[in-house]
Structure 1
Amino acid sequence: MLSVRTFLGIDENTTSHWEKVISGLGALVGIGMVYHLCHWLLPDVTPWILASMGASAVLLFAVPHGPLSQPWALVGGHLVSAAAGVSCQLWLPSHALTPALAVGMAVLLMSYLRCIHPPGGATALAAVIGGPAIHDLGFTYLLYPIGINVLVIFVAACAFNGLFAWRRYPRSLAALGKARLNMAGASVPTLTHEDFAAAMHELNTFVDVAPDELSDIFARAWSHARAQQGASLTLVKGAYYSNGEVGSQWCVRQIFDADDDLTDDNSKLIYRNVAGTTSEQTQLCRVRDFKQWAHCQVYHSNGHWLRVVPEVKAQRVS
């Protein structure tokens, strides 16, 4: 039977008390910097800007490693939403549908540009309901106060979170300092809900995903991997290949030049790493060596590397 706790979505919080305090202090520092700068430069529009910047502070200081908190989401989300709000206000000034249209357009643009940042909705809305002080700015609204305040809170997030090695911001900086787990040659264990919860507890930073969702993702990924076992690998010039590893050992390489006959193990090819470990490295090797390294052919779609399924590929060609 579905419990009230499950229905309401009250998940366990794996962060320590100290981590929660740090998040609160970070938000205090970030908004303090934004407020004082905005109040000093643009006192007439301060209340409207703090609405969206306050929401951004929650993400940058409480969930610094979440995908919605990263620099492109922060900067792109606010600026795109601001442009949507200003455009709607200029197109349909003071119309009853303008606020809803502005937020809807902001969400649509953020989705396509892969910069979803929930506070952007407030930024778009403020451009419409902010009153004459905001309306008179026109598209200058993107530069100030939005651009200035986004820059300030971004710098604050980098500086404050950088004081703590486990929560450095952006997420890419934190990854540089993490110990690498070598899973090469290891058999895949059976993972449980408790295993994911324990791993999240060790991270000691808020992750915007529940342990049961991680378990489901792993189960689906493992099922997909088992379905592809035994598939033959054909090397094609210009194609991309993955080594099939996980974590820091994962890598994608592209064959961008090769001999005419790639069925001959003694033929030579030139590859470059395009994702994962040791990116941008270019090497010359034999087909035999590349096949020993490669696990499957992949392609890039919507920011992700996906496995090429031979049957699906054949259907597309036909």
Structure 2
Amino acid sequence: MLGLLRELGELKRIRSAGRAGSIADRLFSAAWSALGEGRSPEECWRATTAAALVATRMGDIDRGVLASLGIDGDAAEAILGRALEEAAEEVDPALLPALRDAAPAEATGPVPPFVALLAQQPRAGVTCPGRPRLLLEPPENHAEHCLMVAVYGVLLSPLYGARPEVVYLASLAHHLHNAMIPDSGFAGEVLLGNHLEPAFARATEAALAELPPPLAERVRAARAILPDAETPEGRAFHAADTLDRVLQIEQHLRAGKASMSYVLNDMALVHEGPVKPFQDRLLAAVGLAA
């Protein structure tokens, strides 16, 4: 699924006019809105994951945009359904029925304050004790990272025999402390020493206090998988977290290595159409043909 995971990771970088933040930002907010309204983690992981898969093909063209264009009802559902089927070709077949029947991932109610703070909190980049920080711009934020780990975790759950609802909830909540604590990365965490765990625990509890008590308890229970990879859910989470951290850096490195030949030939930047012969002659004449 590596190719699909790369495509999903790009949702951190897709934005559109009139909407704040990236698609990943908004899916993170919608997830916490739905959980806060009492929707079950089962319903929420299905909605979030299906929406993320569709967005790899449709970007920000969702039900609302289609309706504004006069495309609604069965026609809209057919378009979104085709996008889901195409994106989900590598998804474990056991997940597909739940994803096909998923409700829309929409933020219809309030969200806890930590959601906005995590969306404003940049990730640290690559840090290592004793070495200068490697910061690649633009940085992702903690909402985008948590959302992507949640989606990756759901998709990887069948591989480890994990319960996707537990992996999803733990993933959404695994950086709650960063709503209060700026991200200094591995280097800063080492310097905090014995103060690290108590500080993270206090900041996490401050965020959990913003949730309805029953939801806060479910989140605490789900977060019990975070310390190790000894359970199926722990393995699914840590696989998702590791892959997202590494693929985030790979995205920057991969973009820097792209050649003009790849962009023009493999990606068809100048694609087929009535004026393509003219465009090809133009590029050859100015020395940009690959």
Q: Which TM-score tier does this pair reach, normalised by the shorter chain?
A: under 0.3
When the two structures are superposed, what TM-score results if normalisation uses the length of structure 1? 0.24
Q: Between the two structures, name the one with larger relative contact order (CA 8 Å, sep ≥ 6).
A: 2
When the two structures are superposed, what TM-score results if normalisation uses the length of structure 2? 0.25
**Based on CA coordinates, which of the two structures has the bigger radius of gyration?**
1
Q: Give the structure with the larger strand fraction.
A: 1
Q: Give the structure with the larger helix fraction.
A: 2
